[in-house]
Amino acid sequence: MPEIPQELRSLFSDDELAQIAEHRIRVGGTTERDAVELAVAWTGNVRKIDADRSLPSSDRSVWSEHDLAGTLFLRDHLESALNRLPGALRERLIGYVGAADERYRSFTVSDSGQRIEKIAEVDATGRSWWWFRVPSSGPIAEDLARY
């Protein structure tokens, strides 16, 4: 399990973290993750996408539109994991996830979802709000402009 940031760690006792770990979901093949792991990953991905906006497209470390699609799938998995948790644990974790959601909203703009549908090879119909927001600037926005 990746290291849990202190602001998240302070929300749960060891017993509660163990309880959350009992509600793991499959995220691909044989890989399973719990809601805390997915929340940490979502938060990290949101930070990375936001930070990349100030970098040039030529920087080989920047993420592409495909990384954005992967991040959206990750958020779907996080939502599934949250929905499996007992109410009190879920509500506390939603508070942490909400901060990352708000950060994502802060640097993204509304989008039809048609471009990300092509990139992710999915139908966006009925998908959650994060599928209909894209970065307002930066390399990913430049990538998406080609679609």
Kind and range of the H or E run holding 140? helix 139-144
At 61, the amino acid letter reads: S
Query: Model-level pTM greater than 0.85?
Result: yes
Q: Are 40 and 99 contacting, i.e. CB atoms less than 8 angstroms apart?
A: no
The domain ranges of the chain are: 6-144
Please report the DSSP string for 12-61 in residue order.
S-HHHHHHHHTT-EEEETTEEE-HHHHHHHHHHHHHHHHHHTTS-TT-TT
pLDDT in tens, the chain (147 residues): 568 899 899 999 999 999 999 999 999 889 999 999 999 999 999 999 999 999 999 999 999 999 999 999 999 999 999 999 999 999 999 999 999 999 999 999 999 999 999 999 999 999 999 999 999 999 999 999 999
